């Protein structure tokens, strides 16, 4: 679903604003229903929290966007520019039917690059380094995505006369080979995570002196960069996901009966592709690693539509399991960027006005998952994923039991979104 409020000057086609959220939710695992403090579809308000699946992801954005815009219009607000609200219906299952179609329509109606800024769901703000300094973390890029299918086909037969390795055995060897070659974490000076680390070191009140010094030295000293990478990996376990492509073997299947040699076995390996890599680079690396197994067992290797070599004992095929390959998202510029200045300035103004904080730091960061914005790359260079709510507004987390949010946080979000719309429409920067 999408709604557009045409501006008074719709002829100017590069300064539109798009605010996105999604209406779908992840399911509730039936066996966990009894673990909820209040039932997952009750919408119960207990005086502090509003309970239910979707309250945090992503109804908070959906409701806040609608209330902010509705109340502006009721007060006679007439934007000079065109404001678009888009609500996906299947973000939790890839977004093709919702945002996928909305994106096509918006590109036809408004053109490529027609949005000055796109805002979608993201992280809440918090005080991770103490000292009452609030860090707000808009995501400026997202990791890429690739599900690898490894399929091994070998001749069948009776299990009483088996070859040394069945299709399942060879598949297991291929998986072991992949896991023996994890992607190496790399902290790149031109990468988003390096900038995030620099920002924490410069503005985090209670970061260690060692971290602060290393981060500063790492700007032009390679040894310091190496030590900083080690420090991050040791102390922040999730750093590895920000520094490297990750791989997780998630599905496996093969064989039909215990006295029949399996003629086919397959596994699916989920990958989240690092900012510095690409789908093609990842596929090339996988083909190289698996080729050693295929060659050793005299199997034909078909890698992503190309026959790498021919063997006589069967075949290993590598493919995109569900045709869902996605490149890492283009990095939204933050230097000399009017859109970033607009967003960051609005965040700072909103937080200084509503919280008793000593400082506000806007720290661009890197999303490990994907949002509906994966369809919006053609519409704007300035895509931000950010939730203007305090982290403690959530009772628990997203996608799990006890999803609940403090409605006071929604009031704050509505205030922020209202300010963003007004600042965008008044700004002379676009
Ligand atoms: Zn979501």
Q: How far is the CA of 269 from the centre of ligand 1 (A)?
A: 23
Co-location of 149 and 275 in the same domain: yes
In a domain, 329, yes or no: no
Co-location of 161 and 94 in the same domain: no
Q: At what angle do helices 407-426 and 60-74 cross, to 10 degrees?
A: 50
pLDDT of 1 above 90: no
Question: From CA 135, how far away is CA 42, in angstroms rounded?
Answer: 33
> ω before 121 within 30° of 0 (cis)?
no
What is the structure's pLDDT at 251? 96
In a domain, 81, yes or no: yes
Co-location of 220 and 257 in the same domain: no
Q: How far is the CA of 150 from the centre of ligand 1 (A)?
A: 30
> ω before 58 within 30° of 0 (cis)?
yes
Which DSSP letter does residue 332 get? P
Q: How far is the CA of 70 from the centre of ligand 1 (A)?
A: 22
pLDDT tens profile 307-350: 999 999 999 999 999 999 999 999 999 999 999 999 999 999 99
What is the structure's pLDDT at 12? 58
pLDDT of 7 above 80: no
Co-location of 32 and 134 in the same domain: yes
Give the residue numbers marked as catalytic. 24, 91
Helix (H) or strand (E) holding 211: helix 209-217
In a domain, 333, yes or no: no
Radius of gyration of the chain (CA): 25
pLDDT of 39 above 80: yes
Co-location of 121 and 52 in the same domain: yes
Q: How far is the CA of 314 from the centre of ligand 1 (A)?
A: 43
Co-location of 53 and 70 in the same domain: yes
pLDDT tens profile 57-95: 999 999 999 999 999 999 999 998 899 999 999 999 989
In a domain, 202, yes or no: yes
In order, the DSSP letters of 225-264 are HHHHHHHHHHH-TTHHHHHS-EEEEEEEEE-S-TTB--SE
Co-location of 257 and 400 in the same domain: no
pLDDT tens profile 18-33: 999 999 999 999 999 9
Co-location of 217 and 363 in the same domain: no
Q: How far is the CA of 23 from the centre of ligand 1 (A)?
A: 9
Co-location of 148 and 127 in the same domain: no
Co-location of 223 and 258 in the same domain: no
Structural domain for 209, as ranges: 196-239
In a domain, 326, yes or no: no
- When pLDDT is averaged across residues 191-207 and rounded to a whole number, the result is 96
Q: How far is the CA of 59 from the centre of ligand 1 (A)?
A: 9
In a domain, 189, yes or no: no
Total domains, the chain: 3
């Amino acid at each position: 679903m999408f709604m557009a409020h045409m501006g008074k000057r719709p002829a100017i086609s590069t300064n539109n604003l798009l605010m996105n959220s999604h209406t779908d939710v992840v399911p509730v695992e039936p066996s966990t229903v009894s673990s909820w403090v209040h039932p997952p579809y009750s919408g119960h308000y207990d005086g502090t929290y509003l309970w239910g699946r979707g309250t945090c992801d992503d109804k908070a954005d959906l409701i806040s966007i609608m209330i902010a815009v509705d109340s502006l219009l009721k007060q006679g607000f007439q934007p000079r520019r065109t404001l678009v609200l888009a609500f996906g219906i299947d973000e939790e299952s890839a977004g093709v039917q919702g945002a996928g179609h909305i994106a096509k329509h918006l590109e036809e109606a408004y053109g490529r690059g027609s949005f000055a800024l796109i805002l979608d769901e993201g992280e809440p703000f918090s005080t991770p380094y103490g000292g009452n300094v609030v860090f707000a973390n808009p995501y400026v890029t997202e990791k890429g995505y690739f599900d690898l299918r490894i399929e091994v086909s070998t001749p069948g037969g009776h299990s009483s006369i088996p070859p040394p390795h069945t299709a399942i055995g060879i598949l297991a060897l291929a998986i072991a080979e992949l896991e023996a070659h994890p992607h190496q974490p790399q902290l790149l000076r031109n990468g988003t995570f390096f900038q995030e680390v620099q920002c924490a070191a410069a503005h985090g009140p209670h970061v260690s002196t060692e971290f602060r010094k290393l981060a500063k030295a790492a700007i032009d000293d390679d040894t310091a960069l190496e030590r900083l990478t080690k420090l991050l990996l040791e102390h922040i376990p999730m750093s590895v996901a920000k520094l490297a492509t990750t791989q997780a073997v998630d599905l496996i299947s093969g064989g039909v009966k215990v006295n029949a040699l399996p003629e086919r076995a397959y596994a699916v390996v989920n990958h989240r592709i690092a900012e510095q890599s690409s789908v093609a680079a990842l596929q090339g690396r996988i083909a190289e690693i698996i080729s050693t197994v295929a060659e050793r067992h005299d199997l034909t290797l078909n890698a992503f539509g190309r026959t790498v070599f021919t063997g006589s004992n069967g075949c290993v095929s590598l493919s995109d399991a569900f045709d869902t390959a996605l490149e890492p998202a283009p990095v939204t510029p933050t230097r000399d960027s009017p859109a970033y200045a607009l967003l960051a300035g609005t965040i700072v103004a909103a937080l200084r006005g509503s919280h008793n904080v000593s400082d506000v730091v806007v720290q661009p960061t890197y999303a490990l998952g994907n949002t509906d914005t994966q369809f919006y790359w053609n519409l704007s260079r300035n895509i931000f994923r950010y939730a203007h709510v305090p982290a403690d507004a959530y009772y628990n987390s997203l996608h799990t039991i006890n999803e609940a949010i403090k409605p006071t946080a929604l009031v704050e979000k509505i205030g922020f979104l209202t300010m963003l719309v007004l600042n965008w429409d008044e700004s002379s920067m676009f």
